[in-house]
Structure 1
Amino acid sequence: MGEPALKGEPGEGGASRPAPTRYGDDLYGWVEEQVALLREGAIASLDLTNIAEELSDVGAEQYNKLEGALEVLLLHMLKWDHQAAKRSRSWALSIEEHRLRAEKQLRKNPSLRSRLDEAIEDGFRLGRLRAAREMRVSAKSLPVACPYDWTTIMTRPFALDGD
């Protein structure tokens, strides 16, 4: 295939191709156009600045999924350790679910392992605040730094008596 017709240039059959969709006006339409241009090999017509931004956002989204899984996991670990009388099957199952979510993110994105300490720290800070709010205690009553290492986060057993 040849280069796509640009604004004001004839497209297939001599018809003018519509003006390209602006990145800030219609993200979905812009993405569809950029994908078509890539598939056509029309590199010169690509919006490289915004493509780079979108790719960066995709990477950040993967990190955020890992951090989010750790946030919920650490929230329930803190509640488990600091509200023993209120331990529930729901907390244990949430811990297991979010372990699986974290493992999945790392399996699908192995290079995230290089940011694991950062993700644990970020997830813990948010999980700590959520735990304090849900437990109706001062955040000062909970550890400031994450008291769990990666192995503990991923393997410590959480079961109620009789489970």
Structure 2
Amino acid sequence: MQNKLYKTDFYGWTQEQAGLLRDGRLSEIDAKNLMEEIESMGGSERRELESRLEVLFMHLLKWKYQPGYRGKSWTLTIKEQRRKISRHLEKNPSLKNKADEMAQESYGDAILSAARETGLEENLFPAHMPWTLAQALDPDFLPA
């Protein structure tokens, strides 16, 4: 029944699994699917951080390479991403150990996004992140 419910009513399955856990009925748990979902949730947290880093880095690149377009919208986006990244790392402290690696990966994506949004050639942007993650997250930092 659990496997069928997992495929036909995911929400119902999650509620059933939570009830089984709450009641200590561990032998009735759909362990295989439950493990996959827990692992997937962890991946989701990582993807959210990578996405927020990409948006932050893209706007920092736009800030540096298109000074004539700087405005309140970019400033607020940079502030917003910094706040959300900070909160995300507070809620998921184990991601801090991977943050530098994730920043490097996200920076590559940010180059492509910045090139698409600005119309500038992607090779105009530095191939490696020109600031540290700490700088990028610093509320007072804006690239010159």
The reply to whether TM is greater than 0.5 is: yes
Structure 2: give runs of 5+ residues left out of the alignment.
none
- Letter in structure 2 aligned against 1:39: R
Larger relative contact order, structure 1 or 2 (CA cutoff 8 Å, min sep 6): 2
Distance across 1 between alignment mates of 2:20 and 2:110: 43
* Counterpart mapping for 1:1-163 below 5 A: 19-20=1-2, 21-155=4-138, 156-158=140-142
SS at match of 1:144: coil
Structure 1: state its 5+ residue gaps.
Answer: 1-18
* Cα deviation, residue 67, structure 1: 1.2
TM-score (norm 1): 0.80
* AA of the residue aligned to 2:52: A
**Identity, % of aligned positions:** 35
Matched residue SS, 1:24: helix
What SS does structure 2 have at the residue aligned with 1:57?
helix
1:71 CA displacement: 0.8
Size of the aligned set, in residue pairs, is 141
SS of the residue corresponding to residue 6 of structure 2 reads coil
Residue aligning to 1:12: none
CA 1:144–1:24 in structure 2 vs 1: closer, same or farther (change >3 Å)?
farther
Asked which structure has the greater CA Rg, the reply is 1
**Alpha-carbon distance in 1 for matches of 2:135, 2:22:** 46
Between 118-127 and 48-57, the greater mean CA deviation after superposition? 118-127
CA–CA separation in structure 1 for the residues paired with 2:84 and 2:102: 13
- Cα deviation for residue 129 of structure 1 reads 0.8
Report the Cα offset of residue 76 of structure 1. 0.4
Alignment partner of 1:23: what SS? helix
CA distance in 2, matches of 1:92, 1:114: 28
Give 1 or 2: higher helix fraction: 2
Q: CA deviation at 1:142?
A: 1.2
CA distance in structure 2 between the partners assigned to 1:132 and 1:87 by the alignment: 16
CA RMSD of aligned residues (A): 1.6
C-alpha distance in structure 1 between counterparts of 2:51 and 2:137, whole Å: 15
